[in-house]
């Protein structure tokens, strides 16, 4: 199955494309499976553009450091290929960006064409085309962030789709029974603790760990969503996650002030808190991100709190993996999994 879209200069068109249900073709028996690692991007680009301002701009946009990880990691791992080398297995990569200079294209028609599942599935192929380097630079200056968003959402869609196909039923059932919320939990998570207002699940790797907890408490007004209230609630509940030594427990690091922002998904307002966690009484830590909303049906605060522990490996993909969990949550009043507005 193959689909293509043309992205004109309007950012709204780019965002509209990002909202498309793009990755639902894996059931096609004739489709090749895409290659490459998550957040890896092949850039098909001639030396003149890659070594000049266009390439510098693309590296700045797509290789920008991920926020709130313990070391510098790029948003995407960029693999540059010359146009003549873009053949065979390279065409089956999961994420592709082609940069094309075509003097016959009017400057005002500089755009990006997006094609899904071109040579494999799931796959996104973006073609940035314009008459000159200057036209491409002008386009990227206006819409570079939307370009990054489209690629990030493509990766997120794959994770959401995988969790829907291969959900960890035992954990998902415990979440629904405890909180009345449906959530597709990716395969591999194990239920570590379940109480009437708190649930903790974790995914253990040989040298890393991902985990999330869900907790609820009464909503007493707007002050319940203040920074201080959210931090106090977080430390109270994640303190139920034990550390490796006797008496140790998870808490929020005081070395960095967590960052807060508000956003909307499917008409529901969420507060995101992002920072670092520590273990009181031991030496462990890493990044965390929590998502909090008010469940008006029960007049309770609902929080999905996610963390990563990876002392020896890069953390970006682990962190992105737990960030995707939010898009697998569905409240009873929602008819479909959340997608960003």
Average pLDDT of the segment spanning 4-21: 40
Domains of the chain: 3-164 (no CATH), 167-330 (3.40.1000.10)
Average pLDDT of the segment spanning 157-166: 96
Lowest mean pLDDT across 11-15, 139-143, 219-223, 236-240: 11-15
Angle at 166 between CA 67 and CA 171, to 5 degrees: 75
Average pLDDT of the segment spanning 259-280: 95
Q: How confident is the model at residue 266 (pLDDT cuts 50, 70, 90)?
A: confident
In whole angstroms, give the CA distance from residue 335 to residue 338.
9
DSSP-based three-state secondary structure for 304 = strand
Residue 156 has pLDDT above 50, yes or no: yes
Per-residue pLDDT at 287: 97
- Indicate the pairing of strand 209-218 with strand 3-7: unpaired
Q: How many C-alpha atoms does 19 have within 13 Å on its Cβ side? A: 12
Classify residue 131 by its DSSP letter: S
Average pLDDT of the segment spanning 223-249: 96
Per-residue pLDDT at 339: 47
State if pTM tops 0.85.
yes
- Interval 58-85: pLDDT, tens: 999 999 999 999 889 999 999 999 999 9
């Amino acid at each position: 199955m193959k689909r293509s879209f043309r992205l004109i200069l309007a950012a709204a068109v780019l965002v509209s494309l990002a909202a498309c249900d793009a990755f639902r073709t894996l059931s096609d028996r004739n489709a090749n499976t895409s290659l490459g690692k998550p957040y890896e991007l092949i850039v098909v680009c001639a030396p003149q553009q890659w070594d000049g301002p266009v390439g510098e701009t693309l590296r700045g946009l797509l290789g920008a450091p991920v926020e709130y990880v313990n070391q510098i990691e790029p948003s995407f791992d960029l693999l540059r290929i010359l146009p003549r080398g873009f053949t065979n297995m390279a065409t089956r990569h999961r994420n592709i960006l082609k940069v094309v200079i075509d003097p016959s294209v009017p400057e005002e028609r500089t755009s990006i064409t997006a094609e899904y599942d071109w040579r494999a599935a799931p796959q996104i192929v973006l073609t940035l085309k314009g008459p000159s380097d200057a036209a491409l630079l002008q386009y990227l200056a206006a819409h570079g962030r939307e370009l990054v968003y489209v690629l990030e959402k493509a990766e997120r869609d794959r994770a959401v789709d995988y969790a829907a196909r291969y959900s960890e039923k035992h954990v998902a059932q415990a979440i629904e029974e405890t909180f009345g919320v449906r959530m597709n939990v990716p395969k591999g998570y194990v239920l570590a603790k379940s109480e009437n207002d708190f649930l903790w699940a974790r995914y253990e790797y040989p040298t890393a760990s991902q985990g999330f907890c869900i907790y609820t408490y009464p909503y007493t007004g707007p002050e319940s969503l203040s920074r201080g209230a959210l931090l106090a609630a977080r430390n109270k509940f994640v303190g139920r996650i034990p550390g490796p030594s006797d008496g140790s427990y998870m808490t929020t690091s005081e070395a960095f002030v967590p960052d807060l922002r508000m956003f909307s998904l499917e008409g529901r307002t969420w507060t995101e808190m992002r920072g670092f966690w520590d273990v009181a009484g031991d030496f462990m830590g890493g990044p965390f991100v929590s998502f909090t909303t008010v469940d008006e049906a029960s007049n309770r605060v609902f929080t999905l709190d996610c963390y990563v522990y990876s002392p020896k490996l890069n953390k970006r993909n682990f962190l992105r993996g737990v960030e995707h969990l939010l898009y697998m949550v569905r409240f009873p009043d929602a008819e479909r999994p959340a997608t960003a507005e």
